[in-house]
């Protein structure tokens, strides 16, 4: 199944909806106690997801997706973990080593935003803002000391993430959280796809287009560390709680390393996508 947080002309408050093709169905009206955001659905476990599936099968009231807006695909995550340098081509183009252990940092929750949103930042803060197409992994059941062979059983679903980055700040500070956590710097969505629809998370085409130019074109099979490896590794140090979002790294093709460089400009449009999950568009405005 595919879930999204949608808005409408009648309500700007995001509501959880099932997305099917070009139509969507709000979840909350399906039955008493139905969840109205993704975090509540995840926390309800398989029983709640099964009840939603059953209710959707005979439901009416589907709405055209074209009439709706999209908020961030994840809601109230316990934490957003990001993995850097997880594709050899990307670490090489940045001139950084992919160390023996993953590079992990935290993204601030205020950076989350949705599909087709406009992200703004002041020119005085950065004129070197970059894009990064990434596979987002959402944890379903608490994972602690998980073996790699069992790691994918703890995954609830997948989404698309654009890990937008202020490169000048990234290379001037010792940590990477602030440069990637401006308001609106972590678009997700448009949807979250349940794990049963993704046969192999290491066999997905991932890409990015900036102002009509394809700038990233790769496969998740090129990850240095697979989704299962990352979940297992991260679970050794801390329990991964239900709803945790893990952004698994970006392939080569970043704007910083191109000649000439490509940065997101005022009025740029960037779309990052993963076949089988969706395409996530962000509009850019630079203030000042």
User: Residues 10, 116: one domain?
Assistant: no
Q: Which pTM was predicted?
A: 0.96
Percent of the chain past pLDDT 70, that is, above it, reads 96
User: Residues 159, 60: one domain?
Assistant: no
Q: Give CA angle at 82 (77, 84), nearest 5°.
A: 175
> For residues 217 and 145, is the Cβ–Cβ distance under 8 A?
no
Percent of the chain past pLDDT 90, that is, above it, reads 91
Residue 133 inside a domain? The answer is yes
pLDDT in tens, 228-237: 999 999 999 9
User: Residues 18, 87: one domain?
Assistant: no
User: Residues 51, 187: one domain?
Assistant: no
* In the predicted structure, residue 96 carries a pLDDT above the cut 70: no
Looking at 47, 70, 93, the residue that finishes a domain is 70
Structural domain total, the chain? 2
Structure confidence at residue 10 (pLDDT): 85
User: Residues 126, 211: one domain?
Assistant: yes
Structure confidence at residue 54 (pLDDT): 97
Looking at 70, 101, 123, the residue that finishes a domain is 70
| Residue ranges making up the domain that contains 49 | 2-70
């Amino acid at each position: 199944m595919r879930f999204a947080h949608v808005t409408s002309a009648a309500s700007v408050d995001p509501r959880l909806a099932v997305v099917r093709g070009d139509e969507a169905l709000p979840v909350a009206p399906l039955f008493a106690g139905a969840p109205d955001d993704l975090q509540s659905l995840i926390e309800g476990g398989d029983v709640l997801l099964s009840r939603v599936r059953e209710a959707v099968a005979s439901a009416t009231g589907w709405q055209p997706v074209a009439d709706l807006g999209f908020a961030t695909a994840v809601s109230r995550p316990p934490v957003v973990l990001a993995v850097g340098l997880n594709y050899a081509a990307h670490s090489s183009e940045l001139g950084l080593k992919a160390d023996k252990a993953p590079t992990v940092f935290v993204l601030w929750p205020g950076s989350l935003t949705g599909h087709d949103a406009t992200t703004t930042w002041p020119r005085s803060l950065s004129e070197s803002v970059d894009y990064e197409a990434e596979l987002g992994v959402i944890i379903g059941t608490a994972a602690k000391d998980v073996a790699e062979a069992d790691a994918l059983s703890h995954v609830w679903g997948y989404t698309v993430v654009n890990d937008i980055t202020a490169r000048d700040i990234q290379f001037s500070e010792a940590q990477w959280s602030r440069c990637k956590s401006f308001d609106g710097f972590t678009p997700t969505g448009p949807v979250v796809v349940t794990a049963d629809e993704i046969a192999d998370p290491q066999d997905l085409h991932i890409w990015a287009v900036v102002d009509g130019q394809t700038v990233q074109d790769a496969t998740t099979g090129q990850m240095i560390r697979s989704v299962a490896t990352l979940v297992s590794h991260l679970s050794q140090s801390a329990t991964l709680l239900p709803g945790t979002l893990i952004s698994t790294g970006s392939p080569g093709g970043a704007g910083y390393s191109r000649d000439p460089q490509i940065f997101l400009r005022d009025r740029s449009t960037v779309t990052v996508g993963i076949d089988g999950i969706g395409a996530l568009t962000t509009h850019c405005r630079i203030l000042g």
